[in-house]
Amino acid sequence: MPIAANEVTWVTEPKIGLVEQLYLPAIIQGLGTTISHSFSTLFGSGPPVTQQFPEVRPKLPPNYRGVHRLNRDEQGRVRCVACYMCSTACPAHCIDIVAAPSPWPDREKYPELFVIDELRCIYCGMCEQACPVDAIELTTLCDLTGMSREEMMFDKEKLLSVFDQTVKAGTDPVRTKGGKLGVASEVADSGVTWSSTAES
Amino acid sequence: MSLQYDFNFWVTLILIVVVMGAIQGTCAYMILAERKISAWAQDRVGPNRVGPLGLLQPIADGVKFLLKEEVIPTHVDKVFYLLAPAIAVGTALLAFAVVPFGPTTTPPVLINRLPDLTEEQRKDVFATFDKSDITQEALAELARTASTLPTWQQTMAGRKLLLEADRVYAGQLGEPAFEERLKAYNESIQFVIAPHLDIGIVFVFAVSSLAVYGIVLGGWSSNNKYSFLGSLRSSAQLISYEIPLGMSALGVMLLAGSLNMERMIADQAYHGWNFFWQPTACLLFITSVFAECNRLPFDLPEAEQELVGGYHTEYSAMKFALFFLGEYTHMITTSFLVVTLFFGGWHLPWIATPEQSGIGVTVLKVAIIGGKMILFVVFYMLIRWTLPRFRFDQLMALAWKVMMPLALINFLCVVLVKYLGFDQSWQGRATLLPAALVLLTGAAYLTVLLPRKRERKRIYFRGHEIAPKAKTANV
């Protein structure tokens, strides 16, 4: 719609004075800021914001989407029931499951083969959202390396071992699908913020 | 006859090798210093992984540049494509030939002594002249003109006459003649690659101007619209800023009475640093030097690389490295220039004076000029993170409308001081200081007084956070 005349304000820029026209006082003031920042970083009164990475790991939030793991239940069995929901939900089609009749009485199926190609994965977390039994989860492990493409296709044992490694990290899901609260909920409720920069 | 100026071959060769190596090494470490200083100004640490405190980082960078794949696109003009970085680096290194980087002594001057001799002595001097070289008329002409012409306009024959006159004059005073002093000077070790080059600073300006070719050819040969435009802008910037560069240095040249950089340092040692007597010229020179090196705030050719293109878009590993080496060498050369012209070179008032000599003092003087140069390089890098970039029209307006008139008026002030004979003492030169400050403030005041060409207006649309509320139901 056209602009009405009363919506327009005509404003002139203020004229700059002598001191500003010289530009030098402003430059010197700017140099003062730069030099004071340099000195404070160098001689320690203000620490640099750089985090020296391999020595200092960043604090990652509990819902960080890193490497997958397959969870175990209280008896140490794999939780997954091979329902194929994660595999169907995956946008990158990186989960391969082969189901088999489960050796335990309280379940029908269990995954005989469960392979995730970590290199195809886009770490979107859809599998974690889709799983009805909280079997698959993305951890906070972010620095994943491998020497070959074959090495990066994680099978069931590898994924379970990731679980064994990270179960004590305290980054289990905040609220499980079953509605129970996980360990990380206490952390979330206590108001501690998880950020990756060293703030304290 | 032998060469007029014979030089010590081995000393010169060693100087060249050492200095060129030192410059390349300094350039490499300046890249690290730039990254570190940028980091500190931004509250972070710079590279610190390669070697302790990142000190081996330039070596890693050098290895990367050497081993990277050399890609020459098919659509470029091969000859100029390969020539452009060579010109950029070559001219930058060549300009360093006359820049002093350590203690220097002033070369001897051949003064016309014919008027100081008695008539008898003058007849003797003309008698020693080999008549077979020259006819009687020419000799008479020479005798007439040699006594009136300044020394720099002599012919070879006239020069012989003056040398002889000087020998007689010095002989009667018991001092060494000009030729002996010149021989002693040529045998002494001067910390300049090409000492006694009487056109000193004009050589530096001339060779630095050739660096524009590197940029223009780089942009043209890349066969790329954006490279071409970027290089055109860069060359316009460089050429425009050469004028204030030369003109602001004119005042210094006048006061020193010579273009030779060693004489300028000696002049400052005896009369006070030029920074104190001509701060305006110093400021103009420093600004021009920033523009000549394509550093912020005159960063437009390089900023265009991030945005659009620029003259080194199509360049890969080593050629790209050569362009940047050229830029950093320019920074080093111009830092030395600023230190030499305005901050007294290796001179410190009671600590390092021209009369002192000896190995300890030599080392001290090298350290002093090196230290001043490093301070100026750090200043270069700090200004990069202090000032925003100029727009192209602001850049050109600054060069032509502000800096050139200021430099010209500064030059007039120096001419006035020299005409009145004040330049012999530092007190006389000190009258330039208030003149410079008045000039700067006066120019700023004039700019403030000038009426605006057009009023700038702002329109606030509805919805802007400081827009006026809609007055009536005009929705």
Query: Which residue in chain B has the smallest CA separation from A47?
Result: B43
The shortest C-alpha distance from A123 to chain B (Å) reads: 30
Answer whether residue B5 is part of any domain. no
Residues A45 and A75 both lie in one domain: no
Query: How many inter-chain contacts (A to B, CB under 8 Å) are there?
Result: 90
Using DSSP bridges, classify how beta strands A109-117 and A136-138 pair: parallel, antiparallel or unpaired.
Answer: unpaired
Residues B245 and B136 both lie in one domain: no
Which one of A10, A18, A38 would you mutate to disrupt binding with B, by most B Cβ within 10 Å of its Cβ?
Answer: A38
Residues A33 and A131 both lie in one domain: no
Answer whether residue A127 is part of any domain. yes
Query: Which residue in chain A has the smallest CA separation from B474?
Result: A4
φ, ψ dihedrals at B424, nearest 5°: -80, -25
Give the residue carrying structure tokens 């990475």: A53
Answer whether residue B39 is part of any domain. no
Quick one: CA dihedral B437, B442, B245, B197, positive or negative? Answer: negative
CATH number, position A138: 3.30.70.3270
Residues A41 and A81 both lie in one domain: no
> What does the pLDDT look like over B412-470, one tens digit per residue?
999 998 888 877 777 888 888 888 888 888 888 888 887 766 665 666 655 655 555 55
Residues B198 and B182 both lie in one domain: no
Residues A135 and A76 both lie in one domain: yes
**Complex prediction ipTM:** 0.77
> What DSSP string describes B91-149?
HHHHGGGG---S---PPP-----GGGS-HHHHHHHHHHS-GGGS-HHHHHHHHHHHTTS
Residues A45 and A73 both lie in one domain: no
Residues B101 and B141 both lie in one domain: no
- B39 chain-A contacts, CB cut-off 8 A: 41, 48, 50
Q: Identify the domain containing residue B205 by its residue range.
A: 58-105+192-446
φ, ψ dihedrals at B225, nearest 5°: -55, -40
- Tokens at residue B78, please? 């091969």
Residues B351 and B365 both lie in one domain: yes
B307 and B391 in contact (C-beta within 8 Å)? no
Residues A136 and A42 both lie in one domain: no
Select from B45, B386, B470 the Cβ nearest to the Cβ of A27. Answer: B386
Residues B318 and B367 both lie in one domain: yes
> What DSSP string describes A114-157?
EEEETTT-----HHHHH-TTS-EEE-S------SSTGGGEE-HH
Residues A164 and A128 both lie in one domain: yes
B470/A27 touch (CB, cutoff 8 Å), yes or no: no
Let me know how many helices (H) and strands (E) chain B has, helices first.
Answer: 19, 1
Answer whether residue A191 is part of any domain. no
> What does the pLDDT look like over B203-251, one tens digit per residue?
999 998 998 898 889 888 888 887 888 888 888 999 999 999 999 999 8
- pLDDT tens sequence for chain B (475 residues): 344 556 678 878 888 899 889 998 999 999 999 999 998 888 888 888 888 888 999 999 889 988 988 888 888 888 999 899 999 999 999 998 889 988 888 888 877 777 777 777 777 777 776 665 556 666 666 666 655 555 555 566 667 777 888 888 888 888 888 888 888 888 888 888 888 888 889 999 999 899 889 888 988 888 888 788 888 888 899 999 999 999 999 989 988 888 888 889 988 988 888 898 889 999 999 999 999 888 878 887 776 555 565 777 778 778 888 888 898 999 999 999 999 999 988 888 888 888 877 888 889 999 999 999 999 999 989 998 899 888 888 889 999 999 999 999 999 999 998 888 877 777 888 888 888 888 888 888 888 887 766 665 666 655 655 555 555 444 4
Amino acid occupying residue B299: D
> What DSSP string describes B253-287?
HHHHTSS-HHHHHHHHHHH--HHHH-HHHHHHHHH
Q: How many domains does chain A have?
A: 2
Answer whether residue A200 is part of any domain. no
Residues A160 and A97 both lie in one domain: yes
Residues A73 and A39 both lie in one domain: no
Q: Identify the domain containing residue A34 by its residue range.
A: 18-49
Residues A94 and A139 both lie in one domain: yes
Q: Does A22 touch chain B (CB under 8 A)?
A: yes
Q: How far from B189 is each of B106, B224, B358, CA to CA, in Å?
A: 12, 49, 12
Residues B327 and B182 both lie in one domain: no
Residues A85 and A181 both lie in one domain: yes
The whole-angstrom separation of Cα B322 and Cα B324 is: 5
Answer whether residue B356 is part of any domain. yes
Query: Of B290, B285, B317, B318, whose CA–CA distance to B302 is shortest?
Result: B290
Strand partners, A101: A109
Answer whether residue B13 is part of any domain. no
Which one of B43, B287, B439 would you mutate to disrupt binding with A, by most A Cβ within 10 Å of its Cβ?
Answer: B43
Residues A91 and A147 both lie in one domain: yes
Answer whether residue A23 is part of any domain. yes
Select from A10, A22, A35 the Cβ nearest to the Cβ of B444. Answer: A22
The shortest C-alpha distance from B434 to chain A (Å) reads: 16
A18/B39 touch (CB, cutoff 8 Å), yes or no: no
Q: How many domains does chain B have?
A: 2
The whole-angstrom separation of Cα A83 and Cα B7 is: 91
Query: Of B373, B330, B86, whose CA–CA distance to B209 is shortest?
Result: B330
Residues B302 and B154 both lie in one domain: no
